[in-house]
Structure 1
């Protein structure tokens, strides 16, 4: 370019005549012309490439978009003033979601002609001439967006705005804009201008009304602002409403409480702009324009009014279905954008964005959410809780400080309940109880609070894995003597020690702690991991927790939900297969298209042989163990019912989970302990919870007997082996040497069920898990007639209650003679003097050579930590104390979840 300029300059210097000047000037003009032509050509090529690339990009963005049918588009465009609807399993309506926008749909003929003219003149003066989009407006908006130069206009027509409101999310991405343009042209092709305008005027938002509600549609705007129908609006009123959509929150005359703002000048200026555009487009005369400008709108606005509240009948169900439907939509929205849900939940801003979009969809569009909840069963269970809640325990009142306002308030703490009724085969949640009073607490205690499971976790984490790996049979002996694992000293319920050998069956029936800890310690020493089983059942604990011996007593860091525990427990009823639980069965969009259908997920956890043995053992819990009261409290045959109780430290939590072949029902009771309180249940909470469980089960059974399948027996699968063993040692009968004399041991026998492995041969020692030499000596001395304190229950704590009182609190043997079980597998078969007879529940000696040791379980001292080598963590200063609940709770109380600490992971008492 410099050489070119120098050449031009030198050419002019060489001019000696007008003839030379003319020649040089023509040459210069030609050069400049060519430069301009080449520049224009280059620019044209660049623009062509840019347009081509842009069209290719738009094509790529829209190529993945599912092309909606005319019917689907019509449904979505006309879906206004609606919200999602929730349904029971039978299709009966639960409730419609609370709408974010108040409105009413009207036809175009029911709108003032001035209103229609005002909207078109203001929002899209070319509305009746374009084909859904205006290319120059889009180009201008793109240039403005890319360069940041010029007005920040969206370049959107009324058609595009309608598409955006009704068919797309509110995100502002290039992809959404491209899809918006594509759909706008399609809408313009299939629908008339009148139809599009009507849809827009019914869908657009117009700020707040005199009750503080967000309003949608011109009819709601006319009534909420001026107290009249849209058809009766005058020019000034029409212009004011037409100006609102550009910025409803700024131009609306009312605040969120329905009060008129002190300053509405911006709204009035916007109204005047709309009037001028109407006049400019010849929609109104000059006289009308001047008259409308002078109209006193401030005195025309409605006075504030009180908003009436709507009571939600099924509050817990409403919240549960709404939350789960929102998650389903978040996953769908993210998937449509090519983003993994796992990435969404890791990014707070991204999750908030999609959560807002999903929430808007549900509260403003006609989705349908179909649940698995059986209305009759749901009503039956919740009705029983309402009738029985006065018996659950003391309602505490206390002064507290509201964490939000900082004001002093009086709070009441009732005993809460969370219950779940689950279909074993399908995983469907048939019914649940979220709490005792939705108005006072919306916390869902069935799904959202995590509590220590106490001893209800024992079959899942310890006994089933032990049977699965051939480490025990149902009559394998476990030591229940005073023991210590490096300063961790577990005790049974009420800080007692049974001081004898206890069978695996009786350990579960009476829920003893020390034998369970000994067995779990043995699992660790044999490198058997409970983690793989628990994870498959939907309970995920940390590696650190699995190393704690107290985990077998429910000593988790954070606890489990009622739904998780019920679902895991149903694995046994389902012959070892876990089925993921679910509440939402199907979701359909406003066009009626199914966008979500639950797909069941199954996982083999235990063999059917292990599951049968566990069910057989846990049936004894109901017939003569810690839940024996159910034998007469239940109004249905319990011969095929099995279950497990659970109590955490200091009666903080109480559980009962029971299963038939058809269903599993779990019930938890306890205090939320909000505001730093530390309330515990009464000592008879086991009785109370079982009575509540029975009432709920009876009511549900009365509504639907077939679902329970109480007549279906636990058929013994091939591979389950039954061995006749000595009842006192759990081994084959045989002979031992005692004081130099060989003696045959076969006085009492029982049947022991095994999946893998077999009973050990008779021996003096090594027949019981967790036993020491002195324990064997104590046993054999007593066996051969010496009165030495064997099987005499010892109390190591400060509890002054008798062993009988402790046993009664925990339900042990309370129903002697009352069991309606006819299943011979309910108990061990006892053979005396080689004469076989199946024991009944009236025989308190069924699984023991003594009548002592019938109390239920508690916890030990210090931390529930320790592995096979006896290592511990946590507190180690309180020998014989009950410790703290499931990993301990934080100073603010266990308001839904319990926060574990590194220094006090103590086990929960297991009732």
Structure 2
């Protein structure tokens, strides 16, 4: 500071005269003038660059925008008071989505002149002078974005606001703002001001009406607030309505129940601001301004009224299509913002943001959602479910605590049904049953509930992989004797043990548990991983689940949906190719542009040879096994029908899945047990579910026979080999040594189908998977007529019922040992058109069978992760203690243990919740 002062003093001292002073002063002034001029020029250049950068920025952001045509813009701008529409496969309308907003479109000539003037003065006083945007707004937006002070600039013109409401999503990014500016200029180019103003006044939201409904458009506002048409509004009323769009929830006079708020002063103050701006713009006189300002509107507001409710005819379908369409829009919105869906679902807050955007779009814009649902088939399936629901089991009534209010309420628990009809070749969901009473439960039991699949999973997870890898043929023998894997002791239906060797074919036909567990353990010993196949079919389980032997009985931690199980099962009908299922075929936006079209996804899972053999074996389920009742319940040709039953522990879940060449129909029944109850199905639930399945299948066949293709047989492909084998051992005929004597074993023969591998040579003690030395001794003693317990069914339960009664009740008809009858031509194989398949066509399990059709079984101890020596004659247990039951019971899974049991039935106590978030640990058994 001192130096500065000294410099000034020295400068004055250097002045010799007034002339010298003047010269120096002029020089200083000139320097200052030039500095100012250069500064102004610099600022101008910087501003020009900023504007240029801003315009360039806008241009870059909008460069990738699809430029809409005038017709497309007109359609979107005028798309008010609409919502998405849902359609059946043939184009028939299902329903329009219920709107969040109520309103009615009117022309600008049907609006009060006061209203039009009020809106313009309040929202955009330069509306009639600008070209859609105000340049200073663009500059302000660029500066805002560069400095980071907000991502939104505000001050949008009426044109921009209309574009934002009608043509864009509600996101608040600068990119959207740039597109908004671009489209606003385009709209202003193609449409006159009255057209734009009309679109705005019909699209804007104006708070709530006297029924508590959100309102859209000035006509709905006029009727909902003042009980008159928009053309009849007074100046004060027009000003009040014009003030609402700035903050509808704050200024609206009504609450969400349609009651007038105690304090409406903010809305009144806003009305006065609107009136002042009209007066300022010379739209009204001072006298009009004062009169309207002092007018008390409170007495003009409508009294509260009750809103009428709309009944949805196809509730489950409505919700399913809405949910799936919303997900499609969420993915599209996220993709437009450069966000991957898999990353989006990991961020709850971000996902909720896009969920809200997509939901708003669907409920307020005219999207068209086209589905795969066949109307006549959907109606037919649901009609059968409604007519039969009273036969499925008791409806339990009990007191419970409402989780939302904490109050005691009375609840009823009916037996629920979830069914899916799938087109095998395309993956289209043709019809489904979501539940038995939409009014009482909106949960979709076909798509959203996860339950134990019971024994219906056996062909998918165990037998398919075993045949694919050449580990068994259709007549390979599996042990059904008392066994234990580290404390996990599976049993068959009714806690029984068959005490005999059972063929792979019969195991599936009668859904025995112990042989299935032995086989699953065997394929794991041979490094065959079921996960490889299950994942390709759309069923994703954890490694922990795969390591537990009870998984082959349905002992999952979370369960599967009916759609997943139907889709996976259809893989066999598709010759080993899985086709991803879908219900939404395409989506078009309000302008008619297609924004989504389903792309077919096919994945090879099994060879066509394996698929044929599995179909061949599963045909026996409906001819002589656990679903044999279908042979007389079905009103169509069942020669080419194959299927599988499934029941979880304690009759918690019951399944039947049946396929023909054309379709797969899966039906599940069970209780929801929402309130901690423990209701189970009756012991004849398999009979009941099969009868329901038959009724639905008959209805489908009556409506459209081509859907089922029941007369199309499954041709035997090249590569499927048929071998003549000994019926009791599943091996080639030959001789063995018994008590020092060599004996020929060739009394009874049958045919065994293989894809890879071939039958082994006859042996004394190495022909059955899971067999032990004492089992073989018992077998040969019985075979040669010596005293033996072989084939005597052992009942481990406390029930006093006989083995035959349990067998009939639980669906497994085979209670005796192997048949000593002569070879017959009874065949459980699918009829083939291939004349070269004559050897296989005589294949038969040839054992006597009483036609039962429910399944159940239990297991004790841990769920078992088996392993063993790998030899078929002896299987040692492995580590992993997981409790489980097998039979028609379910298993609960904890962090340390999980139950796996099955006999076409297993489901854990936790399996009863019926949402996707539910954990189901069912195990199945038949």
TM more than 0.5: yes
| Pair 1:406-2:406 in alignment | yes
Secondary structure of the residue that 1:774 maps to in structure 2? helix
1:909 corresponding residue in structure 2:
924
Secondary structure of the residue that 2:300 maps to in structure 1? coil
Secondary structure of the residue that 1:338 maps to in structure 2? coil
Whether the aligned pair in 1 keeps the contact of 2:250 and 2:266 (CA below 8 Å) is: yes
Distance 1:182 1:846 in 2: 75
Distance 1:206 1:237 in 2: 13
Distance 1:245 1:269 in 2: 14
Secondary structure of the residue that 2:494 maps to in structure 1? coil
Whether the aligned pair in 2 keeps the contact of 1:828 and 1:846 (CA below 8 Å) is: no
Distance 1:867 1:883 in 2: 20
Distance 1:191 1:879 in 2: 72
Distance 1:149 1:616 in 2: 70
Q: Which residue, out of 896, 905, 910, partners 2:914? A: 896
1:884 corresponding residue in structure 2:
891
User: Given the superposition, is the C-alpha separation of residues 269 and 779 from structure 1 closer, same or farther in structure 2, using an over 3 Å criterion?
Assistant: same
User: Given the superposition, is the C-alpha separation of residues 690 and 247 from structure 1 closer, same or farther in structure 2, using an over 3 Å criterion?
Assistant: same
Q: Write the deviation string for residues 283-319 of structure 1: whole angstroms up to 9, x where unpaired.
A: 1122221221222210001100001111111000000
Distance 1:443 1:518 in 2: 37
Distance 2:162 2:860 in 1: 68
Q: Write the deviation string for residues 425-477 of structure 1: whole angstroms up to 9, x where unpaired.
A: 00000000000000000000000000000000000000000000000000000
1:724 corresponding residue in structure 2:
724
Distance 1:126 1:9 in 2: 57
Pairing 1:605-624 to 2, within 5 Å after superposition: 605-624=605-624
Q: Write the deviation string for residues 491-511 of structure 1: whole angstroms up to 9, x where unpaired.
A: 011100000000000000000
Pairing 1:415-564 to 2, within 5 Å after superposition: 415-564=415-564
Distance 1:2 1:567 in 2: 91
Secondary structure of the residue that 1:494 maps to in structure 2? helix
| Pair 1:70-2:70 in alignment | yes
Secondary structure of the residue that 1:723 maps to in structure 2? strand
| Pair 1:785-2:785 in alignment | yes
Q: Write the deviation string for residues 7-45 of structure 1: whole angstroms up to 9, x where unpaired.
A: 666423422432232122122222222332333333333
**Distance apart, 1:160 and its partner CA:** 0.5
Secondary structure of the residue that 1:379 maps to in structure 2? helix
Whether the aligned pair in 2 keeps the contact of 1:62 and 1:178 (CA below 8 Å) is: yes
1:866 corresponding residue in structure 2:
865
Distance 2:323 2:447 in 1: 11
Distance 1:2 1:49 in 2: 42
Whether the aligned pair in 2 keeps the contact of 1:510 and 1:857 (CA below 8 Å) is: no
User: Given the superposition, is the C-alpha separation of residues 250 and 378 from structure 1 closer, same or farther in structure 2, using an over 3 Å criterion?
Assistant: same
Q: Which moved more, 1:142-151 or 1:492-501?
A: 142-151
2:112 corresponding residue in structure 1:
112
Q: For structure 1, which runs of at least 5 residues remain unmatched after alignment?
A: 815-821, 830-834
Pairing 1:620-635 to 2, within 5 Å after superposition: 620-635=620-635
Secondary structure of the residue that 1:304 maps to in structure 2? coil
Whether the aligned pair in 2 keeps the contact of 1:859 and 1:881 (CA below 8 Å) is: yes
**Distance apart, 1:700 and its partner CA:** 1.2
Q: Which moved more, 1:557-566 or 1:275-284?
A: 275-284
Distance 1:648 1:565 in 2: 15
Q: Which moved more, 1:800-809 or 1:594-603?
A: 800-809
User: Given the superposition, is the C-alpha separation of residues 662 and 836 from structure 1 closer, same or farther in structure 2, using an over 3 Å criterion?
Assistant: closer
Secondary structure of the residue that 2:102 maps to in structure 1? strand
Query: CA RMSD, aligned part only?
Result: 2.7
Whether the aligned pair in 2 keeps the contact of 1:609 and 1:717 (CA below 8 Å) is: yes
1:292 corresponding residue in structure 2:
292
User: Given the superposition, is the C-alpha separation of residues 149 and 509 from structure 1 closer, same or farther in structure 2, using an over 3 Å criterion?
Assistant: closer
Distance 2:840 2:462 in 1: 30
Pairing 1:16-415 to 2, within 5 Å after superposition: 16-140=16-140, 143=143, 154-415=154-415
| Pair 1:826-2:841 in alignment | no
Whether the aligned pair in 2 keeps the contact of 1:218 and 1:241 (CA below 8 Å) is: yes
Distance 1:900 1:374 in 2: 30
User: Given the superposition, is the C-alpha separation of residues 313 and 882 from structure 1 closer, same or farther in structure 2, using an over 3 Å criterion?
Assistant: closer
Pairing 1:718-757 to 2, within 5 Å after superposition: 718-757=718-757
Pairing 1:663-742 to 2, within 5 Å after superposition: 663-742=663-742
User: Given the superposition, is the C-alpha separation of residues 906 and 490 from structure 1 closer, same or farther in structure 2, using an over 3 Å criterion?
Assistant: farther
Distance 1:652 1:625 in 2: 21
User: Given the superposition, is the C-alpha separation of residues 616 and 628 from structure 1 closer, same or farther in structure 2, using an over 3 Å criterion?
Assistant: same
1:819 corresponding residue in structure 2:
none
Distance 1:159 1:698 in 2: 58
User: Given the superposition, is the C-alpha separation of residues 883 and 413 from structure 1 closer, same or farther in structure 2, using an over 3 Å criterion?
Assistant: closer
Secondary structure of the residue that 1:206 maps to in structure 2? strand
User: Given the superposition, is the C-alpha separation of residues 879 and 155 from structure 1 closer, same or farther in structure 2, using an over 3 Å criterion?
Assistant: closer
Distance 1:701 1:469 in 2: 36
User: Given the superposition, is the C-alpha separation of residues 883 and 872 from structure 1 closer, same or farther in structure 2, using an over 3 Å criterion?
Assistant: farther
2:766 corresponding residue in structure 1:
766
1:832 corresponding residue in structure 2:
none
Distance 2:851 2:384 in 1: 36
Distance 1:134 1:686 in 2: 72
User: Given the superposition, is the C-alpha separation of residues 259 and 855 from structure 1 closer, same or farther in structure 2, using an over 3 Å criterion?
Assistant: closer
Secondary structure of the residue that 1:826 maps to in structure 2? coil
Q: For structure 2, which runs of at least 5 residues remain unmatched after alignment?
A: 815-824, 833-837, 869-876, 900-906
Distance 2:839 2:747 in 1: 12
Whether the aligned pair in 1 keeps the contact of 2:885 and 2:891 (CA below 8 Å) is: no
How many residues are aligned here? 892
Secondary structure of the residue that 1:557 maps to in structure 2? coil
**Distance apart, 1:873 and its partner CA:** 3.8
Q: Write the deviation string for residues 755-775 of structure 1: whole angstroms up to 9, x where unpaired.
A: 000000111111110111111
Whether the aligned pair in 1 keeps the contact of 2:640 and 2:830 (CA below 8 Å) is: no
**Distance apart, 1:140 and its partner CA:** 4.3
User: Given the superposition, is the C-alpha separation of residues 144 and 542 from structure 1 closer, same or farther in structure 2, using an over 3 Å criterion?
Assistant: closer
**Distance apart, 1:47 and its partner CA:** 2.8
